[in-house]
Amino acid sequence: MTMKRAAWLTGVLLLASPSYAQDAEPVEQATRTINLMVYGNDACPEPETPDEIVVCGRLPEADRYRIPKDLRKREEDPGAPGTSWTAQMEGLNQDMRHTRPDSCSAVGSGGMTGCYQQRLDQWRAEKRAR
């Protein structure tokens, strides 16, 4: 790299640096608002600066260590109510059978190995039906 090019590159990098991008005048500080929940007879904290606004909501002392209401809701179990664990697992096995060996599927390892068995089962079913 030539000396001129190095000087030019250094000048470009200096102009692109963040220190040149900053304004010369300081930006005026905006008012800061703090929202808090206090429990029982706890005092609402005082603002630290005159530009700070503190807004407090008051809850009963009994709610201090409770889980918030939106987190208390329990979602329903994805399985049907009253379905046994065994039935749920059999259903899952049926749903995922196409990914296992001997499944006659392009999905999963060894899926192609079950095609012959499926043809044999189909032939036996047709033979019994006659």
Question: Helix, strand, or coil here: 103?
Answer: coil
Q: Write down the mean pLDDT value for the chain.
A: 77
When computed from its CA atoms, the radius of gyration of the chain, rounded to whole angstroms, is 35
Confidence grade of residue 79 (pLDDT, cut at 50, 70, 90): low
pLDDT of residue 39: 92
pLDDT of residue 67: 85
What residues contact residue 40 under an 8 Å CB cut-off, 6+ apart? Answer: 60, 61, 64
Tell me the domain boundaries of the chain.
28-65, 98-130
85-104 mean pLDDT? 78
Q: Which tens digit of pLDDT belongs to each residue from 20-35?
A: 555 556 656 678 888 9
Measured distance CA(76)–CA(48) in Å, rounded? 46
Write out pLDDT tens, residues 114-126.
788 888 888 999 9
CA 120 to chain centre: 46
Whole-model pTM: value is 0.34
